[in-house]
Amino acid sequence: MTKVHDISTYQPKSSDVFFFDNNVWMFLFCPIANAKKEQQKKYSDFFKLVNMVSACIWINSLVLSEFCNAWLRIEYKNWLKNPKNVNKDYKKDFVKSDAYIETIKEIKFALNQIRNQTEKTTDEFNSINFDNVLSELENCDFNDSYYLELARQKKWIIVTDDSDFFKNNKLDVEIISAKI
């Protein structure tokens, strides 16, 4: 069964192997202003502890894709608030804009920061137990369900701010969260 730890009390060890969910990377590297400052601080403090003990953090392209796309969608929504951009299309209008180009520069910098502090891994699609992925779809979205199965298979500890990860999860996975 899933074991959920409070991020405020969990003490990472050098032997721990982590997988940070996109929402944690957003707290750590995306300029989301003053949104959820308490959670930002908890995840930032935990990230520092993980680095202090030199524990491993795995990352894959799917998380980086989520990070990039989520940040761009946030910026697009902000861009639409300008009266001259109301009803403008994401791909036709925003992608060509100065705001998009500036955001891409910031995202590239953040992606390199993340990449420099993590270990790259594949998503192991060829060996994943897809039945487990499908069974968790009732509780969370596809990516989260996939991460749960990948973490179960690899014995990773998931760090997330998404309570969907531990709602009715039947997989043998450890989770660390500020959302308990």
Q: Give CA–CA dist 20/90, Å, rounded.
A: 28
Residue 155 falls in which region: left (phi positive, over 0), alpha (psi -120 to 50) or beta: left
Kindly tell me if the per-residue pLDDT of 99 is higher than 80: yes
Q: Give CA–CA dist 49/177, Å, rounded.
A: 14
CATH architecture for residues 3-177: 3-Layer(aba) Sandwich (3.40)
Kindly tell me if the per-residue pLDDT of 126 is higher than 80: yes
pLDDT in the model for residue 33: 60
Ranges of beta strands (E only) in the chain are 3-6, 17-20, 56-59, 119-120, 157-159, 174-177
Q: For the CA atoms of 147, 57, 45, 178, what is the dihedral angle to 10 degrees? A: 20
* Residue 37, H or E segment: helix 37-52
More confident site: 165 or 152 = 152
Kindly tell me if the per-residue pLDDT of 154 is higher than 90: yes
* Mean pLDDT for the chain overall: 93
The DSSP 8-state label assigned to residue 94 in this structure reads: I
The DSSP 8-state label assigned to residue 156 in this structure reads: P
Q: Give CA–CA dist 169/38, Å, rounded.
A: 26
Average pLDDT over residues 60-80: 96
Confidence (pTM): 0.93
More confident site: 32 or 74 = 74
pLDDT digits (tens, 9 = 90+) for 103-121: 999 999 999 999 999 999 9
Contact 164, 24 (CB under 8 A): no
